Chain A
């Protein structure tokens, strides 16, 4: 049996009055992948936020239930998140915007330029982030993720806006991260190559 990267038990999610999903257990081994599917608004992004520790799992306070389950999420290793935002300062040139996160993550200058070359952004170093297209922003977000050098990745619609080359590149990056022992959780409506991934359909986990 392989070492586990993510162990999450008894996750419940409620947004306002809507009960999205419940009693969800996820176990991912090192190098494993999870593909979250389900219709819009089912709670895929919320689940990623719960897994990232940014949102608590809702307490399962069903009326009359004796045991309220609080849910737990445990990761072995550091975690990177790429959601709908590339989270880079809009007015700064791309290189400087990435440099802020490189300093926060203690990455070397060379790591940053390597990541930018890898994502095909080397011609855009001086372009302010606000002028980037949707696909270029996604690439910039991946550059930030590469610079962070986290063990595991949470990706929310990672293929949005990417061209065919970009899709292939992202699939390659995911494969590399998994080969290095990282676990990947992807929420994606677009088909994405994730060999041997567990598919989790949140419709199968009603509250």
Chain B
């Protein structure tokens, strides 16, 4: 299991061997940088809306690695070989989900610091934002994995995956970004609850998707 996780991480981490890159992160920072140019530099406006923009940017950054997440290994038969060795698809998918989260979320949290500086977010909002992202990103990773597994065998699956992730991510976005509007920690708790629900379901859903590709 640890061997599996190590390989999954090596695939997905920035600078990793299979084209895992810093691109999602740069994309995230670029959005934070462009936003003040687009809406104007008034500090109140930026402080009020900046958190929401960071959330949207985080969501979009989570979409970028999806095409590398499952498709290549499905095609080359890695999951078949693992299944033959008694490694259930659920275990392989759990490992992939953890690796996916580790590869994008911690860096995203770090990048949220300069991003919030660019948007002039006050300190207490920054704390709420970071806590919210911490609660919400596991859910984004889980949804991303499920959708990547579902679309892995389709032509143009990557673009479709992005479109499918967005509606499913809305509950996390509402509560995660909503926690910035009102100083109320219960919204973060809600985001975390939804997030962990997705985390609990995702390995099973993704594993079923992979098996159904074989049955087709």
Binding site for B on A (CB under 8 A): 16, 49, 52-56, 79-81, 83, 85, 87-92, 100-101, 103-105, 148
Contact = CB atoms under 8 A, between A and B. Distances in A.
Nearest to B11: A89
Contacts of A79: 84
B85 A52 contact: no
Main SS at interface, chain A: loop
Contact of B85 (A16, A55, A92, A104): A104
B3 to A, nearest CB: 5
Contact of B80 (A52, A89, A91, A103): A52
B84 A101 contact: no
A53 B7 contact: no
A91 B18 CA distance: 7
Contacts of B75: 85
A87 B17 contact: no
Interface size class of B (residues with CB under 8 A): 20 to 34
B124 interface: no
A102 to B, nearest CB: 10
Main SS at interface, chain B: helix
B85 A49 contact: no
Interface in B30-79: 72, 75-78
Contact of B215 (A52, A56, A83): A56
A53 B83 contact: yes
B169 to A, nearest CB: 30
Contacts of A90: 18, 72, 76
Contacts of B208: none
Contacts of A148: 85
A125 to B, nearest CB: 16
Contact of B7 (A49, A55, A87, A100): A100
A52 B80 CA distance: 9
Nearest to A16: B216
Contact of B214 (A55, A91, A92, A100): A55
Given A54-B80, A83-B77, 16 more contacts: A54-B83, A55-B214, A55-B215, A87-B77, A87-B78, A87-B80, A88-B76, A89-B7, A89-B11, A90-B18, A91-B17, A91-B18, A91-B19, A104-B3, A104-B87, A148-B85
